């Protein structure tokens, strides 16, 4: 086997012009991405945005129709085996035989990597000690995800790929998983994760790319993206009389006006100035508020501003 | 730290997932035994049947009554002419003796037991009348060991079982793992395809040790079927056969994505062997033109080799052509499976 020698400063992940079509649907439509070493990068988007297809192409599990992929400066076509030993992968769906115990599964995965922590260390680190002899089918969702993470970490990877790691988990399990990811980061690891939870992306990711219909809409740090809205607060309200958009834009510190299902949305810098002004305006017109809601702007609002749709269309 | 071997862990995974599936375990062991019971009952040794005959009252046959009653193979009674005719009609007797100086044997030629009765009765009657036996004969009723149908069919059942458990077990196991994306998870590691495939084959060897001895033991306990050759030779032939079918099972499961898909393929591959390879009746019954094809089938080779050591007690060396055929199938199918195998 040839020992590949990539440039030492190569980014952890780089892809250009990625495309993938499944029958009639174009899942990925020209996607460029660069993830630096030591970074946690989040692919955020609704179901069907192409997140899983993208991450599986980067993981070397799905072949792209077009485009280039470089992982740690290496190519899947030539260096698959060397790359596999340096990556940790968690797939979206359950992936371990039901009748295997926790310890057996960890031992199997540990056995295929040339180096890494011991089985006991992995089990202790993922807090699975009590479940060591429990079969996979008897584990809770959170325990399964932790086991799956233990298997992904078995080879002491340089990059960790996580596909929707906390979907379907209870809040406590989510926080436990987040801690594990933070811990991996703290040791210098690179993470690429997909999620449709904006809070997950905001908590874990240094940088985020928002995907929709197989393309990147925007990317940057969560703060940058939220700032790009022009204000960091969102006011949503309903009124008994119509208020034209121009009038609302004239209010102090309002940078964007939107409407959705009869509810007005304002993106504002200083809500304490906007709300009294809004009430004055309504009083002049002889109307009142029928609903009012205020929150800090999130990545969800960024997605809404870009697409006119909610990130989570349940 | 000594690093654990992936091959070992993969074999253990296969064994554990099977052993923890009680239903699979149950059928693997029970099926061949049920089959042996069924066939054993159908072809059991039956005691020689006594032929029932009637003598017409007042006929010339009555003077032979004593001689007829003395024969253990005959049960003779005297009936009125009408009653004798009725008994014959109803099948209660196989033959009626009538006539005066010339005896009459009255029977239905379509009934085989009547023919037997006629031969037995005639022999007794002629001897009682003082007929000379121009040729001296002697009866040798000692049965040859291992010549019954059940002796012959047990190695065939072992061969059939090695084929079906090997191919279904491996085929279903792999396609299920592919369907459940377990293979996808494994391919995302540096695990080698050859390790994975080899583990499936080697795990089969462990199953053979669990599958074959119960049949051998049962056949001996229930039907006194004995292994004429060495047990080691039987074990080696069985192991080689199991590996050949494990290779075929891998080849069949190289691509299908669904259980329905693999079921179809396995049926198509196994059915010809089920019919042609001499499991229940000798493969030599098929036309000469088909023989080269039939002899090349792995189940034919396995059954022939098993019967040679099991029934005939021949040494392993005498089955070299069959063993070569099995080894050929094993190497060819494993090599092809390695090339064609897809994880997803």
The string of pLDDT tens digits covering residues B30-61 is 877 787 788 777 766 666 678 899 999 989 88
User: CB–CB of A135 and B20 under 8 A?
Assistant: yes
For residue A225, the SS3 value is helix
Mean pLDDT throughout A258-273?
84
For residue A257, the SS3 value is strand
Contact A10, A72 (CB under 8 A): yes
Contact B272, B297 (CB under 8 A): yes
Query: What's the half-sphere exposure (Cβ side, CA atoms, 13 Å) at B209?
Result: 5
Q: Report the pLDDT value the prediction gives residue B37, as an integer from 0 to 100.
A: 81
- Count CB neighbours of A40 within 10 A: 23
- Count CB neighbours of B302 within 10 A: 33
Residues 6+ apart with CB under 8 A from B67: B124, B125, B127, B128
Is the pLDDT at A304 greater than 80? The verdict is yes
Percent of chain A scored above 90 by pLDDT?
Answer: 59
Nearest to B16 among A94, A99, A114 (CB): A99
Is the pLDDT at B147 greater than 80? The verdict is no
Nearest to A85 among B3, B8, B190 (CB): B190
Mean pLDDT throughout A95-120?
94
Backbone torsions φ then ψ of B137, nearest 5 degrees: -130, 160
**Residue A278 or residue A259, greater confidence:** A278
Residues 6+ apart with CB under 8 A from B229: B308, B309, B310, B312, B313, B314, B315
Mean pLDDT throughout A127-153?
94
The ipTM (two decimal places) reads: 0.84
Beta bridge partners of A159: A87, A190
State how far the Cα of B252 lies from the Cα of B263, in Å rounded to an integer. 10
User: CB–CB of B190 and A113 under 8 A?
Assistant: yes
Residues from chain B that touch A61, judged by Cβ atoms under 8 A, are 184, 187-188, 344
Query: In chain A, which residues touch B (CB < 8 A)?
Result: 59-61, 81, 84-85, 87, 89, 91, 93-97, 99-100, 104, 107-114, 118, 135, 151, 155
Contact A106, A112 (CB under 8 A): no
Q: Which residue of A has its CA nearest to B189?
A: A84
Residues 101-140 of B with CB under 8 A from A: none
b/e B194-211 (16+ beta carbons within 10 angstroms → b): ebbbbbbbbbbebbbeeb
Is the pLDDT at A313 greater than 60? The verdict is no
User: CB–CB of B181 and A95 under 8 A?
Assistant: yes
Interchain contact B25–A (C-beta under 8 A): no
Span B110-146, pLDDT tens digits: 888 898 899 999 999 988 888 777 888 887 766 666 6
Residues from chain B that touch A156, judged by Cβ atoms under 8 A, are none
State how far the Cα of A180 lies from the Cα of A176, in Å rounded to an integer. 6
The tokens of B217 are what?
């033991």
Span B305-330, pLDDT tens digits: 999 999 999 999 999 999 999 999 99
Beta bridge partners of A190: A159
Kindly state the greatest CA–CA separation across chain A: 80
Span B235-253, pLDDT tens digits: 999 999 999 999 999 999 9
Mapped to the 3 state alphabet, what secondary structure does B63-104 carry? HHHHHHHHCCCEEEEEECHHHHHHHHHCCCCCEEEEECCCEE
Among A63-67, A243-247, B80-84, the least confident range: A243-247
Alpha-carbon distance A41 to nearest alpha carbon in chain B (angstroms): 20
Nearest to B191 among A100, A112, A118 (CB): A112
Alpha-carbon distance B188 to nearest alpha carbon in chain A (angstroms): 7
**Residue A291 or residue A231, greater confidence:** A291
Residues from chain B that touch A108, judged by Cβ atoms under 8 A, are 6, 9-10, 12-13
Q: Report the pLDDT value the prediction gives residue A299, as an integer from 0 to 100.
A: 86
Q: Report the pLDDT value the prediction gives residue B141, as an integer from 0 to 100.
A: 67
Residues from chain B that touch A94, judged by Cβ atoms under 8 A, are 180-181
Is the pLDDT at B92 greater than 70? The verdict is yes
User: CB–CB of A112 and B8 under 8 A?
Assistant: no
pTM for the model = 0.79
The one-character DSSP state at B337 is H
Interchain contact B22–A (C-beta under 8 A): no
Contact B17, A100 (CB under 8 A): yes
Residues from chain B that touch A107, judged by Cβ atoms under 8 A, are 4, 9
Is the pLDDT at A216 greater than 80? The verdict is yes
Nearest to B75 by CA among B48, B109, B111: B48
Q: How confident is the model at residue A242 (pLDDT cuts 50, 70, 90)?
A: confident
Nearest to B6 among A95, A97, A111 (CB): A111
Residues from chain B that touch A91, judged by Cβ atoms under 8 A, are 181, 184-185, 188
Is the pLDDT at A164 greater than 90? The verdict is yes
Q: Report the pLDDT value the prediction gives residue B46, as an integer from 0 to 100.
A: 62
Alpha-carbon distance A203 to nearest alpha carbon in chain B (angstroms): 27
């Amino acid at each position: 086997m040839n020992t590949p020698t990539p440039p030492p400063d190569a980014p952890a992940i780089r892809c250009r012009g990625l495309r993938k079509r499944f029958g009639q649907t174009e899942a990925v439509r020209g996607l460029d991405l660069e993830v630096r070493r030591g970074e946690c990068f989040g692919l955020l988007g609704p179901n069907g945005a192409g997140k899983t297809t993208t991450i599986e192409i980067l993981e070397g599990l799905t072949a792209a129709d077009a485009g280039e992929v470089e992982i740690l400066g290496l190519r899947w076509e030539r260096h698959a085996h060397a790359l596999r030993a340096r990556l940790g992968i968690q797939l979206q769906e359950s992936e371990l035989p039901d009748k295997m115990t926790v310890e057996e599964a960890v031992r199997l995965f540990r056995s295929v990597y040339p180096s890494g922590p011991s089985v006991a260390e992995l089990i202790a680190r993922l807090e699975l000690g009590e479940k060591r002899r429990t079969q996979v089918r008897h584990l809770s969702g959170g325990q399964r995800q932790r086991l799956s993470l233990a298997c992904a970490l078995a080879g002491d990877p340089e990059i960790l790929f996580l596909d929707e790691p906390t979907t379907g988990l209870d809040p406590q399990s989510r926080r436990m998983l987040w801690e594990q990811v933070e811990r991996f980061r703290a040791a210098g690891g690179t993470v690429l994760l997909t999620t449709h939870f904006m809070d997950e992306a905001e908590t874990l990711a240094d940088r985020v790319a928002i995907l929709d219909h197989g393309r990147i809409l925007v990317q940057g740090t969560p703060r940058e993206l939220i700032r790009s809205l022009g204000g960091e607060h969102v006011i949503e309200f309903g009124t008994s009389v119509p208020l034209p958009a121009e009038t609302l834009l004239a209010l102090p510190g309002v940078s964007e006006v939107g409407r959705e299902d009869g509810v007005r949305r304002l993106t504002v810098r200083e809500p304490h100035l906007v709300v009294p002004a809004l009430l004055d305006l309504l009083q002049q017109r002889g109307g009142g508020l029928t609903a009012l809601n205020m929150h800090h702007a999130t990545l969800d609002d960024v997605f809404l501003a870009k697409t006119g749709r909610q990130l989570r269309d349940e | 730290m000594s690093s654990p071997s992936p091959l070992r862990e993969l074999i253990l995974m296969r064994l554990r997932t099977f052993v923890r599936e009680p239903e699979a375990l149950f059928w693997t062991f029970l099926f061949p035994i049920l089959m042996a019971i069924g066939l054993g009952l159908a072809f059991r040794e039956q005691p020689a049947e006594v032929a029932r005959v009637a003598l017409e009252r007042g006929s010339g046959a009555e003077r032979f009554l004593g001689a007829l009653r003395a024969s253990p193979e005959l049960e003779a009674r005297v009936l009125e002419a009408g009653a004798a005719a009725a008994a014959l009609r109803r099948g209660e007797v196989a033959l009626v003796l009538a006539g005066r100086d010339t005896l009459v044997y009255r029977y239905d030629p379509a009934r085989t037991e009547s023919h037997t009765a006629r031969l037995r009765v005639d022999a007794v009657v002629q001897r009682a009348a003082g007929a000379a036996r121009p040729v001296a004969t002697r009866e040798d009723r000692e049965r040859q060991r291992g010549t019954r149908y059940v002796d012959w069919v047990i190695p065939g059942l072992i061969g059939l079982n090695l084929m079906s458990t090997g191919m279904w077990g491996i085929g279903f196991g792999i396609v299920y793992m592919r369907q459940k994306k377990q293979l996808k998870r494994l391919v995302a590691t540096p695990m080698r395809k050859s390790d994975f495939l080899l583990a499936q084959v080697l795990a089969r060897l462990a199953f053979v040790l669990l599958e074959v001895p119960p049949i051998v033991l049962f056949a001996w306990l229930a039907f006194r079927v004995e292994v004429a050759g060495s047990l080691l030779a039987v074990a080696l032939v069985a192991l080689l056969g199991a590996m050949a079918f494990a290779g075929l099972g891998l080849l069949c499961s190289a691509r299908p994505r669904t259980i329905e898909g693999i079921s179809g393929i396995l049926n198509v591959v196994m059915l010809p062997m089920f019919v042609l390879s001499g499991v229940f009746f000798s493969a030599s019954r098929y036309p000469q033109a088909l023989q080269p094809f039939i002899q090349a089938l792995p189940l034919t080779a396995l059954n022939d080799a098993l019967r040679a050591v099991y029934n005939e007690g021949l040494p392993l060396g005498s089955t070299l052509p069959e063993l070569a055929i099995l080894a050929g199938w094993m190497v060819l199918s494993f090599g092809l499976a390695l090339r064609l195998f897809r994880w997803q």
